Chains A and B, each alone.
Chain A
Amino acid sequence: MARAALPRRLTWEVLPVVGHEQLTPKTWRVSVSPDGLEQHLAGQHVDVRLTAPDGYRAERSYSIASAPERGALDLVVERLEDGEVSPYLTDVLAVGDQLELRGPIGGYFVWHAELGGPLQLIAGGSGVAPFLAMLDHHRAAGSDAPARLLYSSRTLAEVIEREQLEQHRRRGVGVEITLTRERPEGWAGRVGRADAAMLQAVSFPPEVAPHVFVCGPTAFVEAVADSLVGIGHSPARIKTERFGGMEDRSRG
């Protein structure tokens, strides 16, 4: 069942903030009530717009990190020091405030249970956000599609929603976390970049034709996509969502 294209123009909606919680040193979960928005598919994003008193506007895209089956829309916001939008969302925005949003957007980078599996998810940093929605939906829909996540994070402290990922692992999702900047004492997970060798070791092989989704900073996504093609995956089965250059202030 394909999600039909509905004839509507996207418009900006003003929605109430119903949750605001810090997840890691640099990321927060901002929850918004989706009243009036079309129900989303896991993998889609929303655009957020801030308007300054002088009329200056800034827009940023944030993946929806919650399943469509849930009540609220969760966004994972990474605070970029010189960002135009993220510091406001993390430091100033509070429950009860309103947020201007447009969405849900993007029928291309989505997974829903009818698509089946195997489902291979590869995340860099805050790129795990759309996969939280996909795995949440996978559970809510009772999908038996085999699913795996390879999540690359700089440090353990920066792993987003680690407990939620543990719950997915316990129910049978192959969750692998690799740390690129540290090797904590007693760490039983992986260390090092998600290079071709690691991808070969943890991913579903090309022969089972998995749906592959890669999300994170542009450099990460492109390196992983190139490696996947190098180990035999068909480019047609790989979908990417680049977040841009994270050091670039116009991205945050």
Chain B
Amino acid sequence: MAELSRLDGNAAAGGLEEVFAVEITTAVATCASCGATGDVGELIVYADAPGTVIRCPTCGAVVMRYARLPQSTWIDLRGAAVLRIPAR
């Protein structure tokens, strides 16, 4: 069932943009696992609870993890070697 509820990077943007002060779906992420580079909008989002897992569309490795808790927000970016955010 998790397969059929896969989403695009767009779906995580609302939550991520509450932390990042920039439009995030056009930021370019480099996967730390396979080196593939692409827009955050192209990443695959699994938003079934608990937390949100964002994976590389090329190799399937986790690029970001994101979880909203009552007292804090957790973001794990270990899977992103580089995040390139276009200048305004």
B-binding residues in A (CB < 8 A): 2-11, 45, 47, 59, 61, 102-103, 105-109, 217-219, 222, 239-245, 247-248, 250-251
A102 x B21 contact (CB < 8 A): no
A242 x B41 contact (CB < 8 A): no
Candidates A102, A108, A219, A242; contact of B26 at CB < 8 Å: A108
B1 x A240 contact (CB < 8 A): no
B5 x A108 contact (CB < 8 A): no
Contacts of A10 in B (CB 8 A): 14, 17-18
A106 x B25 contact (CB < 8 A): yes
A-B contact pairs, 5 of them (CB 8 A): A5-B22, A7-B88, A105-B13, A106-B10, A245-B1
Contacts of A7 in B (CB 8 A): 21-22, 88
B85 within 8 A of partner (CB): yes
B17 x A105 contact (CB < 8 A): yes
B86 x A5 contact (CB < 8 A): yes
Min C-beta distance of B75 to chain A, whole Å: 13
B23 x A241 contact (CB < 8 A): no
Candidates A9, A105, A239; contact of B19 at CB < 8 Å: A9
Candidates B11, B14, B26; contact of A107 at CB < 8 Å: B26
CB-based nearest B residue for A10 = B17
Q: Could you tell me which residues of chain B, from 4 to 60, have a CB within 8 Å of some CB in chain A?
A: 4-11, 13-14, 17-23, 25-26, 39-42, 47-49
Min C-beta distance of A127 to chain B, whole Å: 12
CB-based nearest A residue for B86 = A5
New A-B contacts (15) at CB < 8 Å, excluding given A5-B88, A47-B14, A105-B14: A5-B22, A5-B26, A5-B87, A11-B18, A45-B10, A107-B25, A107-B26, A108-B9, A109-B8, A109-B10, A218-B4, A239-B41, A245-B1, A248-B4, A250-B48
A108 x B18 contact (CB < 8 A): no
Contacts of B20 in A (CB 8 A): 9
Candidates B3, B14, B42; contact of A103 at CB < 8 Å: B14
Candidates B1, B6, B23, B47; contact of A5 at CB < 8 Å: B23
Contacts of A3 in B (CB 8 A): 23
Min C-beta distance of B5 to chain A, whole Å: 4
B21 x A109 contact (CB < 8 A): no
Interface centre among A3, A103, A239, A240 (most CB of B within 10 A): A240
CB-based nearest A residue for B17 = A10
The docked-state distance in angstroms from the alpha carbon of A218 to that of B7 is: 7
The docked-state distance in angstroms from the alpha carbon of A8 to that of B17 is: 8
> Mask for B69-88, Cβ within 8 A of A = 1, else 0?
00000000000000001111
Contacts of A243 in B (CB 8 A): 7
CB-based nearest A residue for B25 = A108
CB-based nearest A residue for B27 = A5
CB-based nearest B residue for A2 = B86
Min C-beta distance of A243 to chain B, whole Å: 8
A4 x B88 contact (CB < 8 A): yes
B8 x A242 contact (CB < 8 A): yes
The docked-state distance in angstroms from the alpha carbon of A108 to that of B41 is: 6
B26 x A9 contact (CB < 8 A): no
CB-based nearest A residue for B85 = A5
A108 x B40 contact (CB < 8 A): yes
